[in-house]
């Protein structure tokens, strides 16, 4: 074996039949072993080995000249979260694995855990949760790569291997086999006989750059394809059963190279449209749930990766895209605008996935990464990701049954919201706090919602959703879990925006908003008469607002929708040729509770482009209760939903000298009425001590 500055030998006891962990203090007992002669594993790669003698009745002795393993107090290490690079939380067991620069901490839910220390930085690691093993690789100062395998149930270092060539990445395939990435080539490595077998070699145009085991029997192999001076990244799904590369895919869709395009129209195919960024330098659009379009200097290009979280860097040179939607698995990409190349920065695996990201400067992002509580969670802990060295480190950790979400930059601070659930995930406390530039907590807000029921109610067979936005503190807080927040037709809640557009376009005025009754008989007697904006608004008179829409025209309506950024809409279903009759009711337009409260917050903080006099008039129409200590405003609607269900909205605003909130209530069931909506909303507001 190659000489080193020190020679430490580790004695690890064989596990007993009841699998008790035998902790050994390496400072008290050292066992000397003899060095084996160098052996060559095959013709491809020369390696040096350390023999592992294993018998059932004897102590296993493995020589590790580069580090040691010892028992530590877990809390001593978890107090220094800013040093953690990664954490993987197991499902169905209490094992958590924390990666530091030179150490791996294995915690089993007890006060003590095992710290694996190496003299050199750990390059990569992978956890084989079903077999209770982890493997990791480091690079020594002489350039050799070292592979370790640790069984954390038996507390045994079971394999150690040294290679002269650089091992850049590795994942488990089976219990005794790893897939390794060596200088951009793919090999399998057999742990039992310590032999390599090449699977795929790179070439001048194609390089294998990263491996990632996923949760359903596949390994993601990321491939970088070069074309002259630029490149693009794609991935293939390699089955663990046969380890054969199939077609190339990107975000689960069979990859096809996308050239510059003349128009985005052909990529808009039925899901949604949103303007994300629109300025002189770069414009970014969400064309549907699969495609992001970017326009730079008049040239249009397609980024065919769905992005739940998309943000432009402060210097406008890069774009971050977090793929995946809510409880879907995704990755984070960095798109370089100048070179036109997009690379995968952070991938997902069985232990977590990127969920949301914001830039904190030109080279660093904050990323919510994790999936700690199954399909109920939209996020986990917060990491800092550095695009210069492609490393992420843990900076804010989530607690038991807690989800972190909604990153917001506020001057010199970052605001983070959290939800802490009970064991059944039927109740949650919602909170938000600030962290400084060192990611230390500097402020903790009181709980916004406590002990609130979420989701389906067995008693009346309804789904109920409540969403609230703290206007004064710019906090978006929700009681229902994001995975269960659907989008539905806005129905009569759209009358707010429709009325403002009609006033702005001069179709009606504050002095003259009269429209004669069309003489059709309606079941609601309030509709069977002439109307003004005030009477039609208070009674949700559909024919009146239908007349306004026809007078405005679809082109101008869509222009205002884009300016307001009201919600997603599909330009194929909603365009100048679309019948304008009730498109806000007949499911051509959808909005979520989150989007409702954001729109209302703009309405009440004068952030819409409409005449302020018109805005104030609509706000006055919405007042339903004025008390000495608060003013409550709102508008309601009930509309047909899917499969003969009914969907009701009650959205509004409440303000006092001390607070200001916008809120959205949605109920879905076989029968929904306005009274039911208002009662539920008042119950929630009363729980917050916002109303009497």
Q: Which two tokens stand for residue 508?
A: 């009606």
CA 8 to chain centre: 43
Backbone φ and ψ of 595, nearest 5°: -70, -35
User: What is the C-alpha R_g of the chain?
Assistant: 30
Q: Answer for the pair 258, 302: CB distance below 8 angstroms, yes or no.
A: yes
Residue (of 54, 44, 51, 52) closest to 163 by Cα position? 44
Q: Answer for the pair 186, 179: CB distance below 8 angstroms, yes or no.
A: yes
Q: Please give the Cα distance from 303 to 342 (Å, whole number).
A: 8
Contacts for 508 with CB less than 8 Å, ≥ 6 apart:
502, 515, 533, 548
Helix, strand, coil percentages in the chain from 3-state DSSP, rounded to 5? 15, 40, 45
492 is catalytic: yes
Q: Please give the Cα distance from 641 to 302 (Å, whole number).
A: 34
DSSP string computed for 321-377: EE-S-TTS---EEEEETTTTEEEEEE--BTTB-EEEEEESSSSEEEEEE--TTGGG-
Q: How large is the angle between the packed helices 495-504 and 612-621, nearest 10 degrees?
A: 150
Q: What angle do CA 558, 560, 564 make, to 5 degrees?
A: 120
Q: Answer for the pair 187, 152: CB distance below 8 angstroms, yes or no.
A: no
518-530 CB burial, b ≥16 within 10 A, e <16? eeeeeeeeebeee
What's the half-sphere exposure (Cβ side, CA atoms, 13 Å) at 113?
Answer: 23
Which uninterrupted H or E stretch holds 412? none
Q: Please give the Cα distance from 574 to 589 (Å, whole number).
A: 8
Backbone φ and ψ of 514, nearest 5°: -70, 135
Q: Please give the Cα distance from 499 to 514 (Å, whole number).
A: 13
Q: Which two tokens stand for residue 242?
A: 């046969």
Which uninterrupted H or E stretch holds 152? none
The answer to whether the Cα torsion of 362, 472, 485, 399 is positive or negative is positive
Catalytic, out of 492, 540, 592, 637 = 492
* Cross-strand bridge partners of residue 322: 309, 332
Q: How large is the angle between the packed helices 542-552 and 554-564, nearest 10 degrees?
A: 100
DSSP string computed for 259-320: -EES-SGGG--SS--EEEEESSSEEEEE-SSS-EEEEETTEEEEE-S--SEEEE-TTSSEEE
Q: How large is the angle between the packed helices 495-504 and 542-552, nearest 10 degrees?
A: 40
The residue with tokens 């200590």 is 629
How far is CA 552 from each of CA 498, 509, 546, rounded to the nearest angstrom?
A: 9, 13, 10
How far is CA 661 from each of CA 49, 88, 408, 690, rounded to the nearest angstrom?
A: 66, 37, 18, 9
Cite the active site residues: 492
């Amino acid at each position: 074996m190659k000489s080193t500055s020190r020679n430490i030998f580790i004695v690890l006891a064989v596990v007993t039949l009841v699998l008790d962990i035998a902790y050994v203090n390496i400072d008290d007992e050292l066992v000397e072993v003899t060095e084996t002669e160098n052996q060559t594993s095959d013709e491809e790669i020369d390696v040096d080995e350390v023999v592992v003698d294993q018998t059932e009745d004897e102590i296993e002795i493995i020589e590790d000249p580069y580090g040691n393993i010892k028992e530590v107090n877990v809390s001593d290490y978890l107090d220094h979260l800013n040093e953690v690079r990664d954490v993987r939380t197991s499902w169905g067991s209490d094992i958590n694995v924390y990666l530091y620069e030179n150490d791996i901490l294995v915690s089993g839910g007890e006060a003590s855990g095992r710290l694996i220390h190496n003299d050199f930085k750990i390059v990569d690691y992978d956890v084989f949760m079903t077999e209770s093993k982890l493997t990791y690789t480091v690079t020594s100062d002489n350039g050799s790569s070292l592979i370790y395998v640790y069984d954390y149930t038996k507390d045994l270092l079971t394999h150690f291997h040294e290679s002269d060539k650089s091992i850049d990445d590795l994942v488990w395939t089976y219990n005794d086999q790893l897939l390794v990435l060596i200088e951009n080539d793919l090999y399998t490595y057999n742990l039992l006989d310590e032999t390599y077998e090449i699977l795929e070699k790179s070439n001048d145009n194609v390089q294998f750059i990263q491996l990632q085991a996923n949760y359903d029997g596949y390994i993601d192999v990321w491939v970088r394809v070069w074309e002259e001076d630029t490149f693009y990244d794609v991935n293939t799904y390699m089955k663990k059963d046969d380890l054969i590369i199939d077609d190339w895919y990107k975000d689960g869709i069979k990859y096809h190279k996308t050239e510059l395009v003349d128009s985005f129209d052909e990529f808009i195919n039925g899901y949604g449209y949103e303007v994300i960024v629109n300025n002189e330098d770069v414009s970014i659009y969400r064309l549907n749930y699969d495609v992001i379009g970017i326009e730079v200097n008049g040239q249009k290009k397609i980024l065919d990766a769905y992005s739940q979280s998309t943000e432009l860097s402060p210097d406008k040179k890069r774009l971050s895209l977090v793929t995946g939607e809510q409880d879907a698995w995704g990755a984070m990409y960095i798109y370089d605008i100048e070179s036109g190349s997009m690379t995968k920065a952070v991938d997902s695996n069985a232990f977590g996935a990127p969920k949301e990201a914001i830039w904190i400067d030109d080279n660093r992002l904050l990323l919510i990464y994790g999936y700690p509580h199954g399909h109920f969670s939209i996020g986990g802990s917060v990491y800092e990701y550095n695009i210069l060295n492609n490393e992420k480190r843990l900076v804010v950790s989530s607690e038991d049954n807690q989800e972190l979400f909604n990153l917001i930059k506020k001057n010199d601070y970052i605001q983070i919201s959290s939800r802490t659930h009970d064991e059944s995930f039927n109740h949650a406390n919602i909170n938000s706090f600030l962290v400084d530039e060192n990611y230390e907590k500097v402020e903790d807000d009181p709980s916004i919602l406590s002990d609130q029921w979420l989701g389906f109610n067995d008693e009346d067979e309804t789904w109920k959703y409540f969403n609230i936005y703290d206007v004064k503190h710019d906090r978006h807080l929700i009681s229902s879990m994001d995975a269960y927040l659907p989008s539905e037709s806005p129905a009569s809640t759209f009358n707010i925006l429709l009325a403002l557009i009609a006033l702005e376009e001069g179709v009606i005025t504050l002095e003259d908003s009269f429209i004669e009754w069309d003489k059709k008989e309606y079941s609601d007697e309030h509709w069977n008469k002439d109307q003004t904006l005030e009477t039609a608004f208070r009674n949700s008179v559909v024919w009146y607002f239908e007349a306004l829409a026809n007078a405005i025209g679809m082109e101008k309506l869509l222009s205002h929708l884009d300016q307001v950024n009201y919600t997603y809409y599909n330009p194929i279903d909603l365009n100048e040729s679309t019948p304008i009759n009730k498109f806000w009711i007949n499911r051509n337009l959808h909005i979520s509770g989150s989007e409702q409260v954001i729109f209302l917050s703009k309405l009440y903080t004068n952030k819409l482009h409409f005449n302020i006099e018109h805005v104030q008039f609509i706000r006055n129409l919405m007042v339903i209760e004025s008390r000495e200590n608060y003013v409550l405003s709102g508008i309601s609607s009930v509309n047909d939903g899917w499969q003969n269900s009914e969907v009701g909205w009650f959205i509004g605003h409440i303000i006092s000298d001390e607070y200001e909130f916008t809120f959205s209530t949605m109920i879905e069931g076989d029968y929904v009425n306005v009274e039911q909506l208002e009662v539920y909303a008042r119950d929630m507001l009363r729980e917050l001590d916002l109303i009497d």
